[in-house]
A and B are shown apart, each in its own frame.
Chain A
Amino acid sequence: MLEVKGLRKVYRSGSREVEALRDLTFTVDNGDLVCLVGPSGCGKTTLLRCIAGLLDPTAGDVRVNGKAVDGPPEGMAVVFQEYGRSLFPWMSVRDNVELPLKQKKVARARRTELVEQSLDAVGLSGSESAYPWQLSGGMQQRVAIARAVAYEPQTLLMDEPFAAVDAQTRADLEDLVRRLWKRLGVTILFVTHDIDESVYLGQRVVMLSSSPTVVQDELIIDLPAERDQLTTRADPAFIAMRTRVYEQIQAAKKNAGQ
């Protein structure tokens, strides 16, 4: 279980203080897929870096399976928004996926197997020896997802992973995430600014306010587990929920303006 309790983050530079996160509390149960959505600049990335153990919060804490996070937790993988910067351009696709496994001291035979399986799962078999920059943006993000999958995490954090790919690729990647989630049984926390995406992907959507950020609202997405880009998005229940989320985000922005 992933627990975020009373999380606060204030950036200080000199005498200037910027309160990015004010007071965030929410939980993600094991095996859940929860989407975090909020207006642009609401501190989503700050929040994610705190959860990933890459940034120390000013107050409050993050716990993964009851253990407080004070550095990158074991069994957690992160997919960053900037795939072009998060994949190492000096390594082949295979080496990019394999390096974290080497660090985990996974045996060679098992490594080869994991690399093969995960690249196959994201539809990239045969690209092992290519360099990331030889691939399209969507394919690069698939490599980053394969790297996370091969790591065999219990928790997967995704930071606006599809913000920089085109709309059609994005739809494919959304379905890929749903498929992998169902198959692997991992806990996924998916950060996005795209309201439709959050409703389409999640079992639950946590809406954030503008910065300084608090939890604005939460919504259970009780759509059928089998989701489809055509029928789900045309479902009146889907439209009702996306309207609700949209209203809350608008309300959050308005509050911030006052």
Chain B
Amino acid sequence: MNVGDILKKVALVVALPLVLFVGWYVLSAGSENFYAPPLSEILTAFGDTWQTERLKADVAPSLVRLFAGYLLAALIGVGVGVAIGLNRRLRATVEPVLEFFRAIPPPVLVPVIMLFAGIGNGMKVTVIVFGCIWPILLNTVEGVRAVDSVVLDTARSYGVNGPARLTHVVLPSASPQIAAGLRQALSIAIILMVISEMFAASNGLGFTIVQFQRSFAIPEMWSGIILLGLLGFVLSVLFRLAERRLLRWYEGLRAAQRAG
């Protein structure tokens, strides 16, 4: 790829966000609406609001809750998913129940979980785990179940059994689908982090945004929403980079299959 191509690619990626941003800026420039202030005001508020102290006091706790909940959900989801995926009888027993739990909209659980887990960090992490574990769990079950029979025959006839079978055969084979589940779960985790903080908290991004709204600090509220958007964007870019690195073989395999 030469410099021209790279510039073209960057331009394509940046173009639409730039147009939207400029559009918002221009259209809102003379806004008299109290609830939709000019973007210039929001940007000034953004700079003033999100200083080191606030990042430490509100953004850091949110991120800690998010990662704790997400990692816990990933560990439990993949672990239990592998167990269910490998065991046909267990799968038949628990699958309907799992589908039921998955169908419950996770925000509904916040008040219920508050009753058991209080309003501290434990509650928020529990909410995140309970909400985002399902796509991880169900995708892992599906990925493990779908391991190619020839792959399993090969492993068996060459004595690849026990833990080696899990780490060298079953998990790598299921990894593209597990990654798909993890990707879905990441966006759910962010949503639940914010919602749980909006219900009951004394710090965090969700809490701060609600505080701004209640005290009619509208530009500050908007700046918080923009920060949330940026956070989600950065996390999904990081996820995609990690995925592309770890699943390089899968991309290559698919490209080779498409080429015939």
Interface size on A, residues (CB 8 A): 26
The residue among A86, A102, A104 with the most chain B CB atoms within 10 A of its own CB is A86
Residues of chain B in range 141-197 having any CB-CB distance to chain A below 8 Å? 148, 150-151, 153-154, 156-161, 164, 168-169, 172-173, 175
Residues of B within 8 A of A85 (CB): 148, 150-151
The verdict on A54 contacting B157 (CB below 8 Å), with A86-B151, A90-B175 known, is yes
- Report the minimum CB–CB distance from A105 to chain B (whole Å): 10
Query: When chains A and B are docked, how far (Å) is the Cα of A77 from the Cα of B148?
Result: 19
Query: In the complex, what distance in Å separates the CA atom of A147 from the CA atom of B155?
Result: 12
B154 touches A133 (CB 8 A): no
Query: Is the CB–CB distance between A80 and B150 below 8 Å?
Result: yes
Contact of B249 with A by CB under 8 A: yes
The verdict on A99 contacting B249 (CB below 8 Å), with A82-B150, A85-B151, A86-B151 known, is no
CB-defined contacts of A6 to chain B, threshold 8 Å:
none
Chain B residue with the shortest CB-CB distance to A54? B153
* Contact between chains at A151 and B158 (CB < 8 Å): yes
Question: In the complex, which of the residues B156, B173, B250, B252 contacts A54, with contact meaning CB atoms closer than 8 Å?
Answer: B156
Contacting residues, chain A, for B173 (C-beta < 8 A): 88, 90
**Selected contact of A100 from candidates B160, B172, B249, B250, CB within 8 Å:** B160
- Rounded to whole angstroms, the CA-CA distance of A67 and B99 in the bound complex is 48
- Residues of A contacting B148 in the complex (Cβ-Cβ under 8 angstroms): 85
Find out whether the CB atom of B249 lies under 8 angstroms from the CB atom of A104: no
Checking B150, B156, B172, B250 against A72 with a beta-carbon cut-off of 8 angstroms, the contacting residue is B156
Bound-state Cα–Cα, A241 to B169, Å? 44
CA distance A104 to B168 in the complex (A): 15
Interface of B is mostly: helix
For the complex, is A76 an interface residue (Cβ under 8 Å from B)?
A: yes
Structural contact, A134 and B252, CB atoms closer than 8 A: yes
Q: Among residues 74 to 126 in chain A, which have CB atoms less than 8 Å away from a CB atom of chain B? A: 76-78, 80, 82, 85-86, 88-91, 99-100, 102-104
| CB of B255 to closest CB in A, whole Å | 8
Chain B window 234-260, contacts with chain A (Cβ cutoff 8 Å), 1 for yes, 0 for no: 000000000000000110110011000
A57 to chain B, nearest CB (A): 16
- Is residue A49 within 8 Å, beta carbon to beta carbon, of the partner chain? yes
Who on chain B is nearest to A135 by CB? B256
Question: CA separation between A80 and B148, bound complex, in Å?
Answer: 13
Q: How many chain B residues have a CB neighbour from A under 8 Å?
A: 23
Nearest A-chain residue to B175, judged by Cβ: A90
CB pair B159–A100 under 8 Å, yes or no, is yes
Contact A78 B154 (CB under 8 A): yes
Contact: A100 with B253, CB < 8 Å? Answer: no
Contact partners of A88 in chain B: CB under 8 A: 151, 154, 168-169, 172-173
Q: Which of B150, B151, B154 has the most CB of A within 10 A?
A: B154
Residues of A within 8 A of B175 (CB): 90
Give the distance in Å from the alpha carbon of A72 to the alpha carbon of B152 in the complex: 12
Are A52 and B157 interface neighbours, CB within 8 A? yes
For window 142-164 of chain A, which residues contact chain B by CB distance below 8 Å?
Answer: 147, 151
Provide the bound-state CA to CA distance between A77 and B157, in Å.
Answer: 7
Q: Please give the distance in Å from B235's CB to the nearest CB on chain A.
A: 25
Min Cβ gap B175→A in Å is 7
Which residue of A has the minimal Cβ distance to B169? A88
Question: Do B157 and A72 touch (CB < 8 A)?
Answer: yes
Cα distance A52–B154 when bound, in Å?
A: 10
A53 CB-CB contact with B under 8 Å: yes
Contact of A103 with B158 in the complex, beta carbons under 8 Å: yes
B249: nearest chain-A partner, CB-CB: A90
- Interface bits A182-215 vs B (CB < 8 Å: 1, else 0): 0000000000000000000000000000000000
Interface contact A80-B153, CB-CB below 8 Å:
yes
Complex: how many Å from CA A100 to CA B161? 10
Is B249 within 8 A of A89, CB to CB? yes
How many angstroms between the C-alpha atoms of A89 and B150 in the bound complex? 13
Scoring B150, B153, B168 by chain A CB atoms within 10 A of each residue's CB, the highest score goes to: B153
CB distance from A86 to the nearest CB of B (A): 5
17 extra interface residue pairs, beta carbon distance < 8 Å, beyond A78-B153, A85-B151: A52-B153, A52-B157, A53-B157, A78-B157, A80-B154, A82-B150, A88-B172, A90-B175, A99-B158, A100-B158, A100-B160, A103-B161, A103-B164, A133-B252, A134-B252, A147-B158, A151-B158
Cβ-closest 9 pairs across A and B = A100-B158, A85-B150, A90-B172, A133-B256, A72-B157, A78-B157, A89-B253, A103-B159, A133-B253
Interface residues of B (CB under 8 A from A): 148, 150-151, 153-154, 156-161, 164, 168-169, 172-173, 175, 249-250, 252-253, 256-257
Which residues of A are in contact with B by a Cβ distance under 8 Å?
Answer: 49, 52-54, 72, 76-78, 80, 82, 85-86, 88-91, 99-100, 102-104, 131, 133-134, 147, 151
A-B contact pairs, 28 of them (CB 8 A): A49-B153, A52-B153, A52-B157, A54-B156, A72-B156, A76-B157, A77-B158, A78-B153, A78-B154, A78-B158, A80-B153, A85-B148, A86-B153, A86-B154, A88-B154, A89-B250, A90-B172, A91-B168, A91-B172, A99-B160, A100-B160, A102-B164, A103-B159, A131-B253, A133-B252, A133-B256, A133-B257, A151-B158
